[in-house]
Amino acid sequence: MKKTALSLVAVLSLTGLVGCQTQTNDTLPVVATIEQDKAFTQFSAQFIDELWQTFPSWALYRGFHDYDGRLNIPSDVQRQHSLAFITHQQQALAQISPQSLSPNVRIDYSIIDNLLAKMKWEQETFKSWQWDPSRYNVAEGFALIINGDFASSDERLTSVLSRLAFIPDYYIGARESIQSPTLEHTQLAILQNEGALSVLSPRLLQEAMDSGLTVRQKQQFKARYTQGVSAIKQHVSWLKSLEKKLTTQGARSFRIGEALYEQKFAFDIKAGMTAKQLYQKALLDKDRVQAEMSVLTGQLWSKYFSTQKPTDDKIAIGRLINKLSVNHVKRDDFVSEIRQQIPELIHFVNEKNLITLDPNKPLIVRETPEYMQGFAGASVSAPGPYEKSANTYYNVTPLDSMSEASAESYLREYNHWILQILNIHEAIPGHYTQLVYANESPSLVKSLFGNGAMIEGWAVYAERMMLEQGYSDFEPEMWLMYYKWHLRVICNTLLDYSIQVQGMSEEEAINLMTKEAFQQIAEAEGKWRRATLSQVQLTSYYAGYRGIYDLREDVKSLEETQFDLKAFHERFLSYGSAPVSDIRQLMLLTH
Ligand code: ZN
Ligand code: ZN
């Protein structure tokens, strides 16, 4: 990375002197800041250690493998234990005064503070451990150990052996914990626990039998494997009878309502505004974007149709989008086309001076490894903080396994224009670029507990920023397609809030997506299902985007002619994956 203010911040914060960088309102001497920073750094290292000891599966998901052989049994005792942990950590955190911390460290403080409060709230108030049976599933942990490359096969099988012993008690505890669940989460639990059987497959047993484990270990493995598999099957059949009961006798609603929604939104997004305020912004943006799309459709209509444009604007927009979507790559060229686009994006970013890209960290485009090929698409997989040396990959799944019809529909969705926007979002200067910068921010706290809305928001912001800077030369077709893509982000927020808080029906939701946002019915049905199973997460894309865009406009009007887009981007990303509202405070502090 070029030596910019960014690396200066990194160096200074390592020595605890970053407080001198910005003029804060604090009058505390620098010495106090250094001491408080030190105290916090000690606290946070110990906090993470104890967190992983207390929650071994969480550690495993984050790539910390010391406790892979353990599995917590859900129970009242376990929950008491969690609460004691939270209280203990909150008391330790209260010994440090956030006002005297340097800015970057203060963000870490607020991230842990928020995390602990959220854990307490989830357990005591939200209580999804009671009503969401899909929380109980051993599949993911086992899959991570079995497919991982962090240790030798025999070492990993030894962890699997130890972990297998907990399965029967785990599901007994799950059944004791579940109370008045929703039908939707019960059905998801059935599906996912059935999936667990494909993780604990006969192939795994065979692998263990062929491994370097001792004879005695192999005997244990076989016995525990058999007990584990039958415990999963027993649990699935219990869930199925529960499903029947819920279907006939009625179940708790999956809608969490306004009070819980606002609380969850505050913890998860940290948007610096309420969910309701964000919802209202999204409503306005929807109208604005649709109006822009009408104008573009008017400009383009006669280029693509010899017939009269329909008087209903939304029908006209929908038809034009369908017509344009036919322009897409051949299915066999899908991966190679993406590979070719990356250097073009890099070239544009450099030419327009949008952000410094580190030439020493090139993005590696690869076909998605088989064990990750759950669904088609593209994703960035980055090494976690515990595996710093590994490469970052842009995984693209080839369309080989798709039927002719579904490949065609997929290619129309990711047509000539949308594919470019996808690459901006996932790769350059979206997720990939943000990740490179986040890794420069030397904070384990941020890389472990980073803010999802900031991460998604940056990628969504990057799409628009590139187009505003002239990527694709202001081609109206590109803008129209971009708006269609962006409308999905806006509608995700509208849907989530409307469904969870305002009781929107399935039919209304499908109408919103297909008629107002020009989505295909299959996509809309999938989104409805997702919106019944998760809460708040769907708002993170728009919340982060809106926060970053508004911050940029505010900094621009403060700095007037001094404003420099590249400097703004680099400063913004230098804080790591922190909540946008926290970054906003720090960036506006210096003005
Ligand atoms: Zn086609
Ligand atoms: Zn994304």
Tell how far the Cα of 12 is from the centroid of ligand 2, in angstroms: 31
Residues 534, 540, 543, 547: what is their CA dihedral angle, to the nearest 10 degrees? 160
Tell how far the Cα of 405 is from the centroid of ligand 1, in angstroms: 9
Per-residue HEC secondary structure of 373-384 comes to CCCCCEEEECCC
Report long-range pairs for 169-172 (Cβ below 8 Å, ≥24 apart). 169/73, 170/71, 170/73, 170/74, 170/136, 170/138, 170/231, 171/136, 171/231, 171/232, 171/234, 171/235, 172/73
Tell how far the Cα of 111 is from the centroid of ligand 1, in angstroms: 47
Tell how far the Cα of 323 is from the centroid of ligand 1, in angstroms: 11
Ligand (nearest to CA of 414): 1
Tell how far the Cα of 459 is from the centroid of ligand 2, in angstroms: 6
The answer to whether the beta carbons of residues 480 and 324 sit under 8 Å apart is yes
d(CA 270, CA 117): 13
Each residue's pLDDT tens digit, 505-547: 999 999 999 999 999 888 899 899 999 999 999 999 999 999 9
How crowded is residue 276: how many other Cβ atoms within 10 Å of its Cβ? 14
Q: Rg of the Cα trace of the chain?
A: 25
Tell how far the Cα of 495 is from the centroid of ligand 2, in angstroms: 18
Instruction: Say what the pLDDT of residue 27 is.
Output: 46
Tell how far the Cα of 64 is from the centroid of ligand 1, in angstroms: 45
Ligand (nearest to CA of 425): 2
d(CA 518, CA 286): 12
Ligand (nearest to CA of 541): 2
Per-residue HEC secondary structure of 127-165 comes to CHHHHCHHHCCCHHHHHHHHHCCCCCHHHHHHHHHHHHC
Q: Is 448 helix (H, G, I), strand (E, B) or coil?
A: helix
Each residue's pLDDT tens digit, 447-492: 899 999 999 999 999 999 999 999 999 999 999 999 999 999 999 9
Kindly write down the DSSP assignment for every residue of 214-243, as one continuous string.
-HHHHHHHHHHHHHHHHHHHHHHHHHHHHH
Tell how far the Cα of 425 is from the centroid of ligand 2, in angstroms: 6
Tell how far the Cα of 472 is from the centroid of ligand 1, in angstroms: 22
The answer to whether the beta carbons of residues 344 and 425 sit under 8 Å apart is no
Phi-psi region of 81 (alpha: psi -120 to 50; beta: other; left: phi over 0): alpha
Ligand (nearest to CA of 456): 2
d(CA 452, CA 267): 11
Instruction: Say what the pLDDT of residue 21 is.
Output: 34
Instruction: Say what the pLDDT of residue 564 is.
Output: 97
Percent of the chain clearing pLDDT 90 (strictly above):
80
pLDDT band, very low/low/confident/very high, at 5 (cuts 50, 70, 90):
very low
How crowded is residue 319: how many other Cβ atoms within 10 Å of its Cβ? 18
The answer to whether the beta carbons of residues 451 and 536 sit under 8 Å apart is no
d(CA 547, CA 536): 16
Kindly write down the DSSP assignment for every residue of 64-103, as one continuous string.
--TTTT--PPPSHHHHHHHHHHHHHHHHHHHTS-GGGS-H
Ligand (nearest to CA of 330): 1
Tell how far the Cα of 330 is from the centroid of ligand 1, in angstroms: 8
Instruction: Say what the pLDDT of residue 10 is.
Output: 30
How crowded is residue 518: how many other Cβ atoms within 10 Å of its Cβ? 21
Ligand (nearest to CA of 461): 2
Tell how far the Cα of 453 is from the centroid of ligand 2, in angstroms: 10
Ligand (nearest to CA of 485): 2
Tell how far the Cα of 331 is from the centroid of ligand 1, in angstroms: 9
Tell how far the Cα of 407 is from the centroid of ligand 1, in angstroms: 9
Looking at this protein, which amino acid is placed at residue 152? Answer: S
d(CA 145, CA 156): 6
Tell how far the Cα of 308 is from the centroid of ligand 1, in angstroms: 25
| Stated pTM of the model | 0.90
d(CA 577, CA 448): 9
Each residue's pLDDT tens digit, 349-360: 999 999 999 888
Average pLDDT, stretch 110-119? 97
The answer to whether the beta carbons of residues 1 and 356 sit under 8 Å apart is yes
Tell how far the Cα of 544 is from the centroid of ligand 2, in angstroms: 11
Each residue's pLDDT tens digit, 263-292: 999 999 999 999 999 999 999 999 999 999
The answer to whether residue 25 scores a pLDDT higher than 60 is: no
Each residue's pLDDT tens digit, 217-276: 999 999 999 999 999 999 999 999 999 999 999 999 999 999 999 999 999 999 999 999
The answer to whether residue 26 scores a pLDDT higher than 80 is: no
Task: Please name the residue that has the structure tokens 């506006």.
Answer: 588
Q: Is 504 helix (H, G, I), strand (E, B) or coil?
A: coil
Tell how far the Cα of 324 is from the centroid of ligand 1, in angstroms: 11
The answer to whether residue 363 scores a pLDDT higher than 70 is: yes
d(CA 114, CA 119): 9
The answer to whether the beta carbons of residues 145 and 60 sit under 8 Å apart is yes
Tell how far the Cα of 52 is from the centroid of ligand 2, in angstroms: 27
The answer to whether residue 112 scores a pLDDT higher than 50 is: yes
d(CA 358, CA 341): 18
Looking at this protein, which amino acid is placed at residue 196? Answer: A
By mean pLDDT, which of 29-43, 141-155, 503-517 is the weakest? Answer: 29-43
Of 18 and 443, the one with more pLDDT: 443
By mean pLDDT, which of 7-16, 396-405, 418-427, 563-572 is the weakest? Answer: 7-16
Ligand (nearest to CA of 407): 1
Sorted by sequence, the CB contacts under 8 Å of residue 412 that are 6+ apart come out as 325, 326, 328
d(CA 282, CA 241): 41
Tell how far the Cα of 305 is from the centroid of ligand 1, in angstroms: 18
Instruction: Say what the pLDDT of residue 2 is.
Output: 32
Average pLDDT, stretch 111-131? 98
Lateral strand order in the sheet of 364-367: 364-367, 393-396, 378-381
Residue 396 bridge partners (DSSP): 367, 378
Q: Look up residue 372 and give its DSSP letter.
A: G
Ligand (nearest to CA of 409): 1
Tell how far the Cα of 272 is from the centroid of ligand 2, in angstroms: 21
Tell how far the Cα of 340 is from the centroid of ligand 1, in angstroms: 20
Instruction: Say what the pLDDT of residue 185 is.
Output: 97
Task: Please name the residue that has the structure tokens 């409060």.
Answer: 117
State the chain's mean pLDDT as an integer: 91
Closest CA to 205 of 235, 165, 161, 249: 161
Average pLDDT, stretch 317-327? 97
Q: Is 6 helix (H, G, I), strand (E, B) or coil?
A: helix
